[in-house]
A and B are shown apart, each in its own frame.
Chain A
């Protein structure tokens, strides 16, 4: 196969020469020659070459055309032939004459049969000869609107909301002249404003989506130039407009393909195939571009296209991998975007197509079709068949050569990034919405916050109140009308001739207009605004910014910010969330001897947890800690050594740090001593080449390992004795086997890095390939398919459509070219920059010459291989089946025979290896979970028995320290035995049915009778600050549950380490499947009995997945489980599946009605994240899947502290207070109108001037409420951090309750009464104006309106705990605007309130009554709030008092000691605002 490529290269080189010398290349002949030679040279498979040639001679005219196109020349032979090529089952009878044919069954739906280099069978074509089947384009569209559809679609969306509909209805009602509303502009203003603001927001969001779409659609991929995709029609189907304009022009060009549909002549169907696409670009396509990969946009990639994926490139569509730069066709992909795992996964090419090494080969060599089912979202399942076809001997038909099953292993999915592979060629199978990533990217279920749901009920209450008010007014209006009819009233006031009943009816509607404002129109838009702001604050919070990963907290759902303050249950994943998912090899047990527990490495968090558990017998441990904090705080405050609260933290920490520092010093000394020992031992054994000698990088340094390896120092020596020792293995042997296993039994790939952190390339094949030395190419293992910078011209239709994108593409290209030029000068390694990402400086280990970096499927694996490397067993490279390992300084090459992969059911992984001299044998190495390996040990082997007990003890010890354990075992095989098995395995893996089960069985048969080597203990490091964070969360009243897939013991240890479990807790476990019901009842009985007795011992419940499965079977059991778990302070669920995680969350969410938060980092947490009220994704090691599905993406678990206890609390308070204030101000506004009805014959007159009515909610009162919602803080962040228990106001949902709603409602009604009657008494039968001027209704109502606006603006101010200059500014601004509005708007003669400013402001009475009414309005609230907050303060107000006190103290001290002044008050000194001075006055 290499020769093919070589000759093609040579050909190109030759051609280049031609062009240079100006001699026109005799294209056709040359080309054919080459083709012929390549064919004959490469394989005898394709015997149609001669046909090709013949036909060329016969039909040169046609041929030339094809050639220039470069499309499938292979079919030309059939031009004059008349035998069947492909037939469909329905055509069976007619085509029976064909001796050799390919039978195709019919496929349905979205299942597909993709043809490559084959003519489509007739039934796949429509009457124009175009394929019937249409595949979706690869263009992604997540945006909702286009420029044109935006307005109608968005309006439609908006008016689907009930509230908007209501206000639109109200606006229309007001436009009816009957109701005597006279300014239509003002009528429409509020609804227009609201709709416009929402539309702008929607538009902006959609614009962002467009940008993202464009980025995805416009990314560049490489498709094969000159390949005519048979699955698509040659020409782009005409759009309607094109049809209208240019049909005439198009027709001739279509002709070549428009074969008359002929059912009899089979030749015709084949004949149409070779016709070259007429698209103009192809005509100008130079020959040397043929078979070259050209750039095209990701959105233009079509089903059946050949694509070239280069290292670091992302795959544009789901594609079947054909071949790669690797001889075995393996291509490594990073699947981060799909399943969130950062490790590399190997994908395999089609074994029969590995030979494809260039684009040209794609064009000529391969003929196959792929059958695949309906696209599914399952990332781990795919079944398809690739059928290779050969042209028949006579060249007339096709025969099936081979059927190759293809599975998920052969598929490169959209979003996969090619890594560690130079290039790969693949055939596109699913595009666009049919690709797995998009099928998976279901919209996160839209969540609504608790307050929002509750608020909707309150809106309904407001509606009911509105309805009742209107009804009352309508009925009374009817009676009044009847009374007026009886005397002269009607003729005086209305001359209304209709009946009282009708009057009442119409009055209902006019009352509706009057009272419409009870439903706060701007509430929804204000909430959205406020929540946007809150999301912004959360995003920009520096305390939640992770320096290392450069990520801030990203709020994805903006509407949940208030739920953050009410979380009662927190469900956390363990791995990657509580722990770092960084694995460190800590200890091992080899042949019953434990290594690594020598105190070199710092105590693991888990071990510390275990120690603390033992030490801790004091029941009030947390209290003490609390006392310490609080005591310090107060003493700091009362004593004269005043410390700003912000710094108290650091002081506490410093003190702790000092203690720790002492400990550290001695630890460091011990550590250095051990390390020196270790180094000496190491050098005595071998000279390290790859082993790290940086003590800070070594998690494991036990010199005993080397001592025990010592006696027979070199591996060669060992080998001579290997036969002998097989009977009674020595420790040395065991150790050696142990680490050999670690260095060989894995799926790790290696990167070699030099000291600058650049990747060292093995042999640079590409460079040689580029050269014109013909022989040089022969030896090449791999070649690079040619890639041109030119665009793939195969998509002319799209080009027109997306000219904009093309322009962008061109720009992109230009930029890239520049980059490339720049790059050329620098080292080769830089091109692979993406492999080693940003944190390069950390990666480089200066103690080794050539550093080996392992990329593994799971972090444990990398940790194991790295540990082996550091101990002198360095895995160097993997080249196909050859594994190179450096064993204590000598390189060996192992032949990998089989890899029995790891999966979650097998829980083990094995490799079968052919070991070189000096072993010369076949061995099986196996590592896996302890219980799995135990079953497979050879229990007859006495050596096993002896080791087993000790190893198990060690494993228990590892578990107790919170380490993950793996057991290692091996056995050697005789060649005969292996061959026998190999045959079985081969059969199983090619079995047509039950392949997976059969393989399993065969694998299982091999992994038996193993010899135990030992066990490893790997530490899963806790994330930074997790214990403290959990402690604080729990102090805040949040119940933290841990749901993990880990085993019980590990989970318990992490529980202790992370403060979830206390030493004095009762632990209750529910495990197993059968007895769990009884166990649960027992536990329940005991726990409740203890609680009833007043026992305050806390309980913790630990449930295993199996038990959960049983308990979730019936609702009754579930309820009992819930009941039990609610009695426990901590709940740990281990061995749970992702689905169970979601079920547990749902159980609590629905059963308890509590606000739940789920936090996780991996793809397995997605279900839980989506099930919980709030899903938090940790954007860390395991990629983005979880954070994609989440509502908040954070980088570290400990950020939850700030997110919940500070931001969440604030947001909860803000939203609650804002909504209550909104309702309040609207009720306050509406009720005076109601009181006025009493004095106006219930005639439904609009009390306020129309401008007030419409602007009240939109302008006059909106800002302070919104500012309250945006910036208010009950307590500042340092104090919230100090006193997490303030959070309980949220978990108890105390701030937004129905009671508070009614209190605010009641307060509003009271204030409305005050405002109304304060003015009423001045106007009733009297005249408040000096100079005898007549009062008027508008004067009265304007006075009330102004008073209402004043009170409604002061009220949010009164409820504001944290008056920033915003609040001052906006309260004052709103009042100014309103008062000036009366004055200025009243200057226009045509308005109703003409001159009102003079009338109101000119007299004393208005101001006096205004003052009076304001004071009286607030008096009850002021009194109650004062009494409540002072004498009956809840935790929140107590902390506010504490804060106030500290502030005062600080101020006092500043006065005393002005030197301190600058340093301490960072908040005021840091502000450069001109207001800051002014604010000093308020502090």
Chain B
């Protein structure tokens, strides 16, 4: 019945002037012309190639030793590892084949290598003994990692299977949380720490490195402090549970008498257990490595070294591998040549494109603002049938 304009009767309904209202705000109107596009290609090319080279070079200075000890439990006598079970990345040109290959075998042990762990159930612990050669002296900081493959820490139900409150120390009072099936044990007592992540914690323990065949016995130790993200430490606190009110997760049970915590075997103090924190930071991909320990001080001299690992974590159950990795580091993390290569490749591609377009531009130049490309007259008078018409190039400068 009426338009709203009538509601308020103003003196004039003239719209207000203004750059915004009249849509003529000053503006940058980028137009892709050879003058703008070709330099872009060259700039990217010129920028990326050296960056790529730099990255590649810096990456190649990493020294990294990777050893697959998954099948160690099979051998009671030392065997050399097959080629695919170990890799060396060295910063110097050295012939890796001239070194003695790593060798491993296992022995039964009665105590864990981790001094904090007791063995109340007197388990026979398979201990893997790995001998390997460090071909060149590694400079600190040196990190030791374990690497797991095909372990899906990013599984939907796995990721969330922890209780943030419990980890902070709060008793798991409301029967909530995300721990799902691993919230309480069969007899009803709470599991601490609960959830799938904690349960599946990588529990191989390793010894320090000891030198083999060296003139003097050397040991090279790694510390487990300072391996977790500083922020992660805020997420954990000493528990307020009494030891007997909670039970360890199923996979932890063997380390405790009758699978229960007691005063002599109290629950671990998670706020101090950085390895636990590292584990709890679920990996992005099924092939991941997590830091096991670090040494920021001593260089690891070349020579043959021995390392013992308690084989508590069974990867064969799910078909994965476990590796031990000793590596130096760059600001970009461990050894990974991908970034440098890609940078160089993209730089190259851009240079190539720039070249191609330059040539094309030279062969078939077009001048900016040439109205000859505009067809004033649509043949057939803009009839609907001639949509697929070819533009009639008709010079407008007929004079």
A131 within 8 A of B: no
Interface hits, B334-379 → A, CB 8 Å: 334-336, 338-339, 342-343, 346, 349-350, 353, 357, 360, 364, 366, 368-371, 373-379
Known: A495-B181, A495-B196, A1404-B331. A1363 touches B30 (CB 8 A): yes
Nearest CB on B from A1286, distance (A): 9
C-alpha spacing A1326/B346, complex, angstroms: 22
Decide: A550 and B32 in contact? CB cutoff 8 A: no
Residues of B within 8 A of A1193 (CB): 3
Residues of A within 8 A of B30 (CB): 1361, 1363
Nearest CB on B from A807, distance (A): 19
Interface hits, A181-215 → B, CB 8 Å: 182, 208, 211-212, 215
Write the A1393-1406 contact mask toward B (1 if CB under 8 angstroms, else 0). 01100110001110
Listed stretches A523-531, A653-661, A1422-1430; interface member: A1422-1430
C-alpha spacing A1446/B30, complex, angstroms: 14
A686 within 8 A of B: no
Known: A212-B2, A1363-B27. A1426 touches B37 (CB 8 A): yes
Decide: A1244 and B156 in contact? CB cutoff 8 A: yes
Interface hits, B50-107 → A, CB 8 Å: 51, 55
Residues of A within 8 A of B12 (CB): 550
Decide: B374 and A1285 in contact? CB cutoff 8 A: yes
Known: A495-B182, A1129-B381, A1471-B26. A1330 touches B371 (CB 8 A): no
The chain B residue with its CB closest to the CB of A1324 is B285
B243 within 8 A of A: no
A1331 within 8 A of B: yes
Interface hits, A624-679 → B, CB 8 Å: 626-627, 630-631, 633-634, 637
A729 within 8 A of B: no
C-alpha spacing A1239/B289, complex, angstroms: 15
Interface hits, A513-568 → B, CB 8 Å: 537, 539-542, 545, 547, 550-552, 554, 556, 568
Decide: A1283 and B374 in contact? CB cutoff 8 A: yes
B186 within 8 A of A: no
Decide: A1408 and B27 in contact? CB cutoff 8 A: no
A252 within 8 A of B: no
Nearest CB on B from A378, distance (A): 18
Nearest CB on B from A543, distance (A): 8
Nearest CB on A from B46, distance (A): 13
A132 within 8 A of B: no
A1126 within 8 A of B: yes
Contact of B397 among A634, A1323, A1480 (CB under 8 A): A634
How many residues of chain B get a CB closer than 8 Å to chain A's CBs? 124
Decide: A1096 and B380 in contact? CB cutoff 8 A: yes
Contact of B23 among A1277, A1322, A1405, A1427 (CB under 8 A): A1277
Contact of B376 among A556, A627, A1245, A1430 (CB under 8 A): A627
Decide: B329 and A1330 in contact? CB cutoff 8 A: yes
Most buried by B among A620, A1340, A1412: A1412
Write the A1411-1442 contact mask toward B (1 if CB under 8 angstroms, else 0). 01001100100110111011101010111111
Decide: A1039 and B155 in contact? CB cutoff 8 A: no
Decide: B333 and A1405 in contact? CB cutoff 8 A: yes
Contact of A1405 among B17, B227, B318, B339 (CB under 8 A): B339
The chain B residue with its CB closest to the CB of A1275 is B29
Decide: B7 and A215 in contact? CB cutoff 8 A: yes
B160 within 8 A of A: yes
Known: A494-B155, A1126-B384, A1332-B227. A1441 touches B368 (CB 8 A): yes
Known: A622-B377, A1441-B33, A1445-B369. A142 touches B284 (CB 8 A): no
Residues of B within 8 A of A1239 (CB): 154, 285-286
Decide: B32 and A1426 in contact? CB cutoff 8 A: yes
Nearest CB on B from A1045, distance (A): 27
Contact of B332 among A337, A633, A1405 (CB under 8 A): A1405
C-alpha spacing A554/B6, complex, angstroms: 11
A1276 within 8 A of B: yes
Decide: A1277 and B24 in contact? CB cutoff 8 A: yes
Residues of A within 8 A of B342 (CB): 1318, 1321, 1412
Decide: A1415 and B227 in contact? CB cutoff 8 A: no
The chain B residue with its CB closest to the CB of A1358 is B30
Contact of B26 among A1394, A1423, A1479 (CB under 8 A): A1479
Decide: B285 and A1340 in contact? CB cutoff 8 A: yes
A279 within 8 A of B: no
Nearest CB on B from A671, distance (A): 34
The chain B residue with its CB closest to the CB of A536 is B21
How many residues of chain A get a CB closer than 8 Å to chain B's CBs? 155
Listed stretches A299-307, A418-426, A485-493, A935-943; interface member: A485-493
B297 within 8 A of A: no
B25 within 8 A of A: yes
Known: A1336-B281, A1471-B19. A1326 touches B376 (CB 8 A): no
Decide: A1416 and B26 in contact? CB cutoff 8 A: no
A623 within 8 A of B: yes
Nearest CB on A from B334, distance (A): 5
B141 within 8 A of A: yes
Decide: B145 and A1327 in contact? CB cutoff 8 A: yes
The chain B residue with its CB closest to the CB of A1246 is B156
The chain A residue with its CB closest to the CB of B395 is A627
Residues of A within 8 A of B253 (CB): none
B229 within 8 A of A: yes
C-alpha spacing A1430/B30, complex, angstroms: 13
Decide: A495 and B376 in contact? CB cutoff 8 A: no
Listed stretches B110-118, B204-212, B230-238, B300-308; interface member: B230-238
Most buried by A among B151, B319, B391, B396: B396
Residues of B within 8 A of A1335 (CB): 281, 283-284, 288
A1482 within 8 A of B: yes
B187 within 8 A of A: no
Decide: A1412 and B339 in contact? CB cutoff 8 A: yes
Decide: B26 and A1467 in contact? CB cutoff 8 A: yes
The chain A residue with its CB closest to the CB of B37 is A1426
Decide: A487 and B319 in contact? CB cutoff 8 A: yes
Contact of A1404 among B33, B284, B332 (CB under 8 A): B332
A351 within 8 A of B: no
A502 within 8 A of B: no
Decide: A552 and B160 in contact? CB cutoff 8 A: no
A1127 within 8 A of B: yes
Decide: A1322 and B26 in contact? CB cutoff 8 A: no
B390 within 8 A of A: no
Contact of B159 among A1126, A1337, A1448 (CB under 8 A): A1337
Interface hits, A302-351 → B, CB 8 Å: 337
Decide: A1430 and B34 in contact? CB cutoff 8 A: yes
Decide: A1336 and B282 in contact? CB cutoff 8 A: yes
Contact of A1325 among B178, B278, B288, B370 (CB under 8 A): B288
Decide: B5 and A1364 in contact? CB cutoff 8 A: no
B15 within 8 A of A: yes
Residues of A within 8 A of B343 (CB): 1408, 1412
Decide: A1341 and B396 in contact? CB cutoff 8 A: no
Write the A1302-1329 contact mask toward B (1 if CB under 8 angstroms, else 0). 0000000000000000101111111111
Known: A1240-B154, A1403-B333. A1430 touches B32 (CB 8 A): yes
Q: Using A493-B155, A1328-B332 as known contacts, list a sample of 9 further A-B pairs with CB atoms less than 8 Å apart, ordered by residue number in A.
A: A551-B13, A626-B377, A1243-B155, A1243-B158, A1285-B378, A1332-B143, A1398-B229, A1422-B37, A1482-B27
Question: Would you give 24 A-B contacts (Cβ < 8 Å), ordered by A?
Answer: A208-B4, A212-B2, A437-B1, A495-B182, A542-B15, A550-B14, A556-B3, A1193-B3, A1240-B286, A1243-B154, A1245-B159, A1323-B284, A1327-B145, A1330-B333, A1332-B141, A1332-B291, A1332-B329, A1333-B291, A1337-B282, A1389-B235, A1398-B230, A1403-B333, A1445-B369, A1479-B27
Chain B positions near chain A (C-beta within 8 angstroms): 1-7, 12-17, 19, 21-34, 37, 40, 44, 48, 51, 55, 141, 143, 145, 147, 149, 151-160, 164, 178, 180-182, 196, 200, 227-232, 234-235, 278, 281-291, 294, 314, 317-319, 329-336, 338-339, 342-343, 346, 349-350, 353, 357, 360, 364, 366, 368-371, 373-385, 387, 391, 396-399
